[in-house]
Amino acid sequence: MAGEFPGSARMLLVPGVVHLNETAAVFEAMVTGWSRQQRSRQLGEGTVRTRERLIRRFQEFCDSYPWQWTPVDVEDFTVSLTSGSERLALSTIRGYHLTLRMFCDYITDSRYEWPAQCHDRFGQVPSQVCNEWNTVAHLNEYEGQPQRRPLTYRELELLFDWLDDRVDRLARSGRKGALAALRDAVMLKTTYAFGLRRNELARLDVADLRPNPHMRKWGTYGSVHVRYGKASAGSLPRRRTVLAVPEFDWAVDGLRQWVEQALPLYEAGGHPALWLTERSTRVKVRQIDDLFSVARTEIGLDEHLSLHCLRHSYVTHLVEHGYPERFVTEQVGHAFASTTAIYTSVSDDFKNKTLQAALARVYRIDEKGTR
């Protein structure tokens, strides 16, 4: 029924009240109503506020109100985003277009009564100004920078060696920081060995370390229960349990050493977090990013590589080790196998070995290339 939805005009505009600036008042009511509608859908507060800012920015750019907007305004706005030295990424522009489209869907829906309110007050009605001809099409599933790739085995070796050497160096010198360095080493190794996202890693508690039913000897370090997985819009964080795999069983020993020997030294009074700072607070995502940035510089990796590359590496190496696609998808918490495929690549060494095996099978060719 009209007027009874969260964000409807009837709930925001009082009949008979005359505003000194009616156009501004109705616009504010529209933005407020849309925000209420999104919160009713359980969207995150950060998402709602970001979308609010974009709508206000677009209104200021057009210097007009939603019932006056036209498709040309969208086109001019897009040109402004793609001009100059600070051109926005294609995915960012698409996100802006999607936000504008959703706002226009809201204010043109008769159930919220904005068309009727605008017609009665201004003699105009809002329309959908975003269409297939003036918005960015989603042609590719993945549009990240090509430089953001999985790490090679050699690069992983350099990274982990640098982390271990850092622990040894600080421990031998007797300087403060050896315990934090050990935490950093185990933390990044865990990121790779379980294919975790940054926030998933930072939000882990000791209680999230679970047994692996297939390998009892690993004790409580055979799997990681992720409680803060990436959520879909309007939903709670997606949970999953990531099982340790034998190719990465070295991570089990690292976690055991950290939890049983190092973590008690913080004397944090029962703090649940798996990764603690010297002040007995939870390590933040920003600190993990900074750690990877320092390591990347020290070992000479490409500046475009980010911590997320460890997750890419995990997917790639599971595929190379022969794990089924469905297993990999569930391990990393993707809803669809097609998403996992975006992150998947294989090394040249793996390709060469696979081709050699195929040639030997079909043509009976030995390693020297003779039949």
Structure confidence at residue 2 (pLDDT): 47
Residue 142's pLDDT band (cuts 50, 70, 90): very low
Structure confidence at residue 266 (pLDDT): 87
SS3 51: helix
334 vs 367 pLDDT, higher one: 334
224, 209 Cβ separation under 8 angstroms: yes
Q: Is the pLDDT of residue 80 over 70?
A: yes
Q: Is the pLDDT of residue 299 over 90?
A: yes
Residue among 360, 182, 362, 358 at smallest CA distance from 266: 182
Calpha distance 143→126 (Å, rounded): 33
Q: What number is the average pLDDT over the span 317-335?
A: 84
| Residue 140 to residues 63, 90, 91, 312, 332, Cα–Cα distance (Å) | 34, 11, 10, 18, 21
Q: Is the pLDDT of residue 141 over 50?
A: no
- Domain segments of the chain: what residues? 9-122, 153-359
SS3 151: coil
Q: Is the pLDDT of residue 56 over 90?
A: yes
328, 341 Cβ separation under 8 angstroms: no
Burial (Cβ within 10 Å: 0-12, 13-18, ≥19) of residue 326 = exposed
Weakest-pLDDT range from 87-96, 291-300, 310-319:
87-96
Q: Is the pLDDT of residue 356 over 80?
A: no
SS3 343: helix
Q: What number is the average pLDDT over the span 348-365?
A: 59
Residue 339's pLDDT band (cuts 50, 70, 90): low
Chosen CATH of 153-359 out of 2.40.50.140, 3.90.226.10, 1.10.443.10, 3.20.20.60: 1.10.443.10
219-260 pLDDT, tens digit each: 999 999 999 888 766 567 789 999 999 999 999 999 999 999
Q: What are the two backbone dihedrals, phi and then psi, of residue 228, each rounded to the nearest 5 degrees?
A: -120, 50
Per the prediction, the chain carries an average pLDDT of 85
64 vs 352 pLDDT, higher one: 64
Structure confidence at residue 350 (pLDDT): 55
Calpha distance 12→6 (Å, rounded): 10
Q: Where are the beta strands (DSSP E) in 209-259?
A: 209-210, 223-229, 238-243
